[in-house]
Structure 1
Amino acid sequence: MNFISPVPMPGPDAVAPEVYRTIYPMPMFTIVPTEDLEASKDFWIRGLGFIDLFTMPGQVTHLRRWAFQDVLLVPGSAPAEAPGFATSFSCVLSQIDEIAQACEALAPGSTIGPEIKLWNSLELTVITPENSRVVMTAARPHDEQSLENLRAMGIGVPD
């Protein structure tokens, strides 16, 4: 099977791809308003593992992790509470604890989890300084329980 994705196949020894620095037409991106561009940029870089692809001071910071994981930080008011929706970014299993520790060091109490989900991922929820809800999700290798969950959801899987 051929996949068009920077996300590696799930497994305990999956290796995260390098940060993707090439410019491309973005098929999807997230815009995050923030009252403090520098503080937000610092958290997303040191906590969540993004890079500053480019910055127009006071106007926009374009952050990226893997290909197609783009975030634009822009000046604006943050909601008083974290939004009910979340933006999810793929990572590998070995990165979940590292990201949780980095975010907690920068903003104690900013993480929830990690939690194993029925759809066979391990997910860490992070509330960023601008009250965005970011879910770092790592696919888990299939085991018998995850295959039973998929069958219960009506998804055909091999026996």
Structure 2
Amino acid sequence: MKVVLQRVLKSSVTIDGEIVASIGNGIMVLLGIVNDDTKEDINWLTKKIVNMRIFNDDNGVMNDSILDVDGEVVVVSQFTLHASTKKGNRPSYIRAAKPDIAIPLYESFISQLEIDLGKKVQTGIFGADMKLALVNDGPVTIIVDSKNKE
């Protein structure tokens, strides 16, 4: 399971011209799932996200977590995070989990993140053609992969 975390001042997800998710200060999470991802990956990753100190404290140093700043979170499924670009110029997405595996893990990830965060998480719609808008704050963009814990 891989995520791209983007610290944002605001972010939204639009599908067919309709805004389906919108947050202010917080994190946009792009989530990629592979076939061998498990509940263990979800638990490790959601705890990592809510405790990661990527927000500035009163001294302008990144010492605060999303919990410390009472920020919001939006999660968007992103199978292209697992693209293989080794051969040719057309990425291969063979590592990305198919919907029958990915959707239950995506939903479980969101549920666990809401528990760890202590509030509702905004989301896109799995598999939809989404348009994302965000103001990246910093910019701060962090990639975390549950398969690289050590």
Same-fold call, TM cutoff 0.5? no
Instruction: Please classify the TM superposition score into its range, dividing by the shorter chain length.
Output: under 0.3
Scaled by the length of structure 2, what TM-score is found?
0.27
Scaled by the length of structure 1, what TM-score is found?
0.25
Question: Which structure is higher in RCO with an 8 Å CA cutoff and minimum separation 6?
Answer: 2
Higher normalized strand content (fraction of residues): 2
